[in-house]
Amino acid sequence: MKYYHPDIECASPETLKALQAEKLVRAVRHAYDRVPYYRELMRQKKVEPGDIRSLEDLPKLPFLTKEDLRKAYPYGLLALPLSDVVRIQSTSGTTGTRVVAFYTQHDIDLWDESCARAIIAAGGGKDDVVHVCYGYGLFTGGPGLNGGSHKVGSLTLPMSSGNTERQIQFMLDLESTILCCTPSYAAYLAEAIIQMGVRDRIKLKAGIFGAEAWSEEMRRDIEDKLGIKAYDIYGLTEISGPGVSFECSEQTGMHINEDHFLAEIIDPETEEVLPEGSKGEIVFSCISKEAFPLLRYRTRDICVLSREKCSCGRTLIKMSRILGRSDDMLIIRGVNVFPSQIETVLLRCGYPANYQILLDRVRHTDSLEVQVEMTQEMFSDTVKGIAAREKELVASLRAMLGISPKVTIVAPRSIARSEGKAVRVIDKRKL
Ligand code: ADP
Ligand code: ZN
């Protein structure tokens, strides 16, 4: 199977646009009629459901933010009575108080199907063993890929996170072929597999990794270590979960499931909609969901959209990898720094993706320290050799960031691992 929904994934632009417009009109009416909180936002913006007749009218609608979700917590944005709702999930709380999202069975089905498209695009099918070690529970990673794998008809291994040795044992015994987890956990698993000396016995062919930002360098590193092809997958709880967009064989960005989620790029400062190809904050409108129909939801995730023809045959628009979250941008001595920039430098310089960024304020000045693990090969270096390496890294980081950090190279496996999203930044300025 090449596509899960070929008629949608490869639809002509006209067909897709007509479908989107029809669904958008319906979704706006649904939200306006059933969500008083949203109706009030539309009133404030002086827009009525009748004003939204085509896709071009989308910018007339107000934005929704995570702040709105927090204000309306828990039920204020729910569009159906609770008796129609079958599931609640919650965000990981990476950037503050967790928010919740609601699903009817129809919403779960469309989410599962979005993940099924991702699994098929990564080369999955009925004969695959899909090893899911995203966390299960309130976090959407586990349930999303689990549901997708069921729709595809693959054998699903609901491992959840944790217990790395058991993960590897099951991977060997049950011959897992597709691995689903965060990229940082995939990197950790890869190291453990190599260390256990079982690299030649694993049957993995692909990985579907998401839920946190990762660089191209990290992708190549995981691919080389595991001998697989690594695919990016993106999503957020508020919009449904993983599978909002997914990568195909071309590995140059993620196709957005546009029949369910309309995407716009805006300037996060001015809120102006930017033309295709511009870098900015991605905003989603859910046009198929029943229980939690967020429209123009500001994700704070920074990326670029492109409608360039894709060699996989899909016509769905693509978003680039996430270049940062506007809310994880660090302002250090007045300079904007994204953790992803630091990761890129470390991997380019031959270090593993095991690092931590420590921020503090000493005598009213911000200090930045980057701790990174040395590789096994560097372990035999002399103290002088390590000092020289640290100096080299300071220079490379300074060239990328425009500010000079302190660098400390630490022993292999000494930085705490996370089984879910990696904790990269410890900002003591806020503590
Ligand atoms: P939280 O915002 O608390 O982490 P979620 O668990 O819903 O909540 O995670 C969604 C967020 O995770 C997204 O908004 C995005 O910042 C990040 N994310 C998800 N998938 C990816 C990906 N493939 N690349 C980069 N970031 C991602
Ligand atoms: Zn493609």
Please report, for the domain that includes residue 243, its CATH number.
3.40.50.12780
Contacts of 343 (CB under 8 A, 6+ apart): 214, 215, 217, 218, 353, 355, 424
> Which ligand sits nearest to residue 120's alpha carbon?
2
Residues 218, 359: one domain? no
Domain hosting 151: range is 1-327
Q: Which two tokens stand for residue 329?
A: 């941008």
Residues 359, 384: one domain? yes
CA of 234 from ligand 2 middle (Å) equals: 15
Residues 37, 184: one domain? yes
**For residue 132, which of 103, 154, 156, 114 has the smallest C-alpha distance?**
156
CA of 59 from ligand 2 middle (Å) equals: 27
Q: What is the pLDDT along the chain (431 residues), one digit of tens a residue?
A: 899 999 999 999 999 999 999 999 999 999 999 999 999 999 999 999 999 999 999 999 999 999 999 999 999 999 999 999 999 999 987 777 789 999 999 999 999 999 999 999 999 999 999 999 999 999 999 999 999 999 999 999 999 999 999 999 999 999 999 999 999 999 999 999 999 999 999 999 999 999 998 989 999 999 999 999 999 999 999 999 999 999 999 999 999 999 999 999 999 999 999 999 999 999 999 999 999 999 999 999 999 999 999 999 999 999 999 988 877 778 898 888 888 889 989 999 999 889 999 999 988 899 999 999 998 888 888 889 999 999 999 999 999 999 999 999 999 989 988 888 888 999 998 76
Residues 246, 345: one domain? no
**For residue 134, which of 279, 42, 242 has the smallest C-alpha distance?**
242
Task: Please name the residue whose Cα sits nearest to atom 18 of ligand 1.
Answer: 211
Residues 135, 193: one domain? yes
Task: Please name the residue whose Cα sits nearest to atom 24 of ligand 1.
Answer: 213
Residues 293, 384: one domain? no
CA of 127 from ligand 2 middle (Å) equals: 22
CA of 319 from ligand 2 middle (Å) equals: 11
CA of 321 from ligand 2 middle (Å) equals: 14
Residue whose tokens read 């003591």: 428
Residues 145, 262: one domain? yes
Residues with CB under 6 A from ligand 1: 91-95, 210-213, 232-237, 299, 301, 322, 325
Residue whose tokens read 């920074």: 302
Q: Are 367 and 346 in contact (CB under 8 A)?
A: no
For residue 141, give the ligand 1 atom closest to its CA: 6
How far apart, in whole angstroms, are the C-alpha atoms of residue 157 and residue 145?
A: 10
Instruction: Burial-class residue 97 by CB neighbours within 10 Å (0-12, 13-18, 19+).
Output: exposed
Q: Are 154 and 126 in contact (CB under 8 A)?
A: yes
Residues 338, 309: one domain? no
Element (DSSP H or E) covering residue 426: strand 425-427
> Which ligand sits nearest to residue 248's alpha carbon?
2
Task: Please name the residue whose Cα sits nearest to atom 25 of ligand 1.
Answer: 213
What is the structure's pLDDT at 408?
A: 97
CA of 329 from ligand 1 middle (Å) equals: 14
CA of 327 from ligand 2 middle (Å) equals: 29
CATH number at residue 366: 3.30.300.30
Q: How many domains does the chain have?
A: 2
For residue 233, give the ligand 1 atom closest to its CA: 23
Tell me the H-state helices in 313-382: 339-348
> Which ligand sits nearest to residue 230's alpha carbon?
1
Characterise 410 by phi-psi region: left (phi > 0), alpha (psi -120 to 50), beta (else).
Answer: beta
DSSP per-residue letters across 371-389: EEEPPTGGGG--HHHHHHH
Task: Please name the residue whose Cα sits nearest to atom 5 of ligand 1.
Answer: 91
How far apart, in whole angstroms, are the C-alpha atoms of residue 313 and residue 299?
A: 28
Q: Are 207 and 186 in contact (CB under 8 A)?
A: yes
What is the structure's pLDDT at 431?
A: 62
For residue 139, give the ligand 1 atom closest to its CA: 6
Residues 227, 134: one domain? yes
pTM of the model: 0.90
Residues 234, 114: one domain? yes
**For residue 90, which of 115, 62, 106, 66 has the smallest C-alpha distance?**
66
Of 280, 308, 327, which marks where a domain is finished? 327
Of 275, 310, 327, which marks where a domain is finished? 327
CA of 233 from ligand 2 middle (Å) equals: 13
What is the structure's pLDDT at 362?
A: 87
C-alpha count within 13 angstroms, C-beta hemisphere, residue 80: 20
C-alpha count within 13 angstroms, C-beta hemisphere, residue 140: 34
How far apart, in whole angstroms, are the C-alpha atoms of residue 172 and residue 379?
A: 30
Q: Which of 91, 136, 209, 236 to mutate to test the pocket of ligand 1 (most atoms within 8 A of CB)?
A: 236
Residues 295, 178: one domain? yes
**For residue 289, which of 79, 76, 35 has the smallest C-alpha distance?**
79
Residues 259, 347: one domain? no
Of 292, 327, 362, which marks where a domain is finished? 327
